[in-house]
Amino acid sequence: MAIGGSVASQAFCPISRPNRSRKLPQIGCAPLCSVRECPQPLTFRPSRRPAWPMEHRFTRQELYDRVWSKPMSHLVSELGTTTGVLGTLLRRADIPTPPAGHWMRKDFGKPVVQQPLPPAPAGCTEPLLLDTGRRGAARRPRLKEGTATPKVDPVPKPDIRAQPLEVPVPAPIKPRPTQPTTITRDELYSSVWTTPMIRLAAQFGISGNGLAKICDRENIPCPPRGYWAKLAVGRAPAQSPLPESGGSHAITIRPTPLPPPPIDLPPEVQQLVDKARASEPAIAVGERLLRPHAVIAAWLAEHEEKKQRARRERDPWTRSLYDPGEFTQNDRRKHRILDALFKAIERHGGRIKQGDRRELFAEVLGEKVEFQVREKQKQERRPLTADEKRWRSPDDNRWKQELVATGRLVFEIKTWQWPAGLRRQWVDSDKQAMEDMLPDILTTFVAAGPLLVQQRKDREAAERERQLAEQRRYEEQRRRKRDANRWRRFKEMAQDWHELATVRDFLVALRSMNVDPSGEIDGRSIEEWIAWAEDWLTRADPSTEGVGGIFRRIAEINDWTYHD
């Protein structure tokens, strides 16, 4: 094998030169010695990377499909190239690539958006050529002057293009679990130290941060940062022992619920959305605010009024209290963006208003859509000031954490009853500015109008059904109460009739006694007293009016007859 041939070789001598203080050129892991002086034969190790070129040819559609079918790292490994070479080819062919976090969101079942393939740019010819070979021939090792180059038998070059390209078959993706998983503390400890946290969390259907919180709550030690990289080279630190727990119990890990799938818009709503997107493909945001919207003009007038009021104040403290300050560059940008969006919404039949609590909302087809535009903030640590250091205790931190503005705008829908599947939030980013998101926000408002109207009609119909069902339950409750009261009166009448039979027998017994009829008691004779008792007996007896009279008296009973 010749050094500098198609397959690079490296000369390795197991015996180094006696003079170790002199720095010698090395190939492999040992210095080169003179071939004439070396008592042992030289060993030549071929390089692992081939020097012959490899080419792949694709159409734009084929390369676009492969880029969106698997992660870039997998595709680079499959094609035997680098990310830089493949990325350069994709940029020249104007082929969109998945954004950051695309495959993680897809693995967790979250909705992802695939960008369509744009038309081919000018000068782009097909098929696209991807050259994965090494640039230039293998480098010849540098030898000392007077050192002979060892001769080896040449090795024929294998014809790679004649061999079929073996595409590795990806392992089947396991479905995301939907049911809770029960695991013991020892099993979770063993799994954490044998599988990376992010992969183990995917098996449970949660995020790596969620699994780390579970381990922290159960006092389960986790591998430190960089553990798996050190493990790959055999320098991993010792595994932390599992602390004793107060009791052995099972740990239930519930998967994170999947977000609702995107809804399929009704045909008439989809037609409105397509019409709005066609009429407003891009909403222009001016460099200056000219003829602002009424709401924004009111903001500017209020701000100017506060400034005038602050100027009229003579007290410096009161002046600083009333002075609103100048608008920042981000405030002026927000005004220009909202001015363009408000005018676009009103061109499509909506109305922008501001409530009594300064909340913004849009009326679309009579429905109120409340929204908010704010500046995104993040938490940062700053060192303590001199005054804060004076009043801190020894146990306090040497820093203070506070919210800091990031300069990025966030447009968020605040309406609670928002149609499921419609986007609620747009965040300014380096890849896409808020100005470029305005057409998407506009079409969302256009689609939300008919959907909110339908939701309101559905709620009203459900409320009518609920009221009818409540009315039926109330009527049924009254009927049961009335029927129970009538049965109660019927039993009372039967009890009265049973008692009156005893009274009737008592009167019969009184008539059979020998009594002086001429005797008077309280101005009445005995016969009159007996007639008085019989009269009361007749009035109290429910059977005197017959069966019809009894049930007519029962029919007069309602649900309010008895109040107990």
361-403 residue pLDDT tens: 999 999 999 999 999 999 998 998 988 888 888 878 888 889 9
Q: Is 456 helix (H, G, I), strand (E, B) or coil?
A: helix
Interatomic CA distance for residues 284 and 416, integer angstroms: 30
Convert the pLDDT of each residue in 414-424 to its tens digit.
999 899 889 99
Asked if residues 295 and 342 have their Cβ atoms less than 8 Å apart, the reply is yes
Average pLDDT for residues 159-186, to the nearest whole number? 68
User: H or E segment at 400?
Assistant: strand 399-413
Asked if residues 416 and 371 have their Cβ atoms less than 8 Å apart, the reply is no
Average pLDDT for residues 154-159, to the nearest whole number? 51
Check whether 5 has a pLDDT greater than 60: no
The residue written with tokens 């305005």 in the block is 438
Note the residue count of the chain. Answer: 564
- List 231's β-bridge partners, or say none: none
Average pLDDT for residues 448-474, to the nearest whole number? 95
Instruction: Return the structure tokens found at 503.
Output: 């009274």
pLDDT band, very low/low/confident/very high, at 106 (cuts 50, 70, 90): confident
Q: Is 432 helix (H, G, I), strand (E, B) or coil?
A: coil
The alpha carbon dihedral of 427, 433, 436, 438 has a sign of: positive
How far is residue 350 CA from its own chain's centroid?
29
The residue written with tokens 């303590």 in the block is 384
pLDDT band, very low/low/confident/very high, at 338 (cuts 50, 70, 90): very high
Q: In sequence order, what DSSP letters do the residues of 173-190 get, joined into one string?
A: PPPPP-S-EEEEHHHHHH
Whether the bond into 127 is cis, omega within 30 of 0 = yes
The residue written with tokens 């099972």 in the block is 250
Q: How far apart are the first and last CA of the chain?
A: 111
Residue type at position 39: P
Instruction: Please compute Rg for the chain using Cα positions.
Output: 45
pLDDT of residue 55: 77
Nearest residue to 289 (alpha-carbon basis) of 333, 324, 250, 245: 333
pLDDT of residue 261: 72
pLDDT of residue 128: 84
Convert the pLDDT of each residue in 495-543 to its tens digit.
999 999 999 999 899 888 887 767 788 888 888 888 899 999 988 888 8
The alpha carbon dihedral of 285, 286, 287, 293 has a sign of: negative
pLDDT of residue 173: 63
Nearest residue to 251 (alpha-carbon basis) of 291, 206, 288: 206
Question: Cα angle at 187 between 184 and 190, to 5 degrees?
Answer: 150
11 DSSP 8-state letter? E
- b/e string for 162-171 if b means 16 or more Cβ within 10 A? eeeeeeeeee
Check whether 491 has a pLDDT greater than 50: yes
| Contact residues for 36 (Cβ-Cβ < 8 A; gap 6+) | 147, 148
Interatomic CA distance for residues 290 and 293, integer angstroms: 9
Integer CA distances (angstroms), 406 to 274, 425, 428, in order: 34, 17, 10
Interatomic CA distance for residues 343 and 251, integer angstroms: 55
356 DSSP 8-state letter? T
Asked if residues 74 and 157 have their Cβ atoms less than 8 Å apart, the reply is no
User: H or E segment at 227?
Assistant: helix 227-232
Q: Is 125 helix (H, G, I), strand (E, B) or coil?
A: coil
Instruction: Judge if pTM exceeds 0.85.
Output: no
| Contact residues for 301 (Cβ-Cβ < 8 A; gap 6+) | none
Asked if residues 116 and 60 have their Cβ atoms less than 8 Å apart, the reply is no
Integer CA distances (angstroms), 56 to 88, 137, 264, in order: 15, 20, 39
| Contact residues for 216 (Cβ-Cβ < 8 A; gap 6+) | none
Torsion of CA 33, 34, 37, 39, to 10 degrees: 50
pLDDT of residue 85: 85
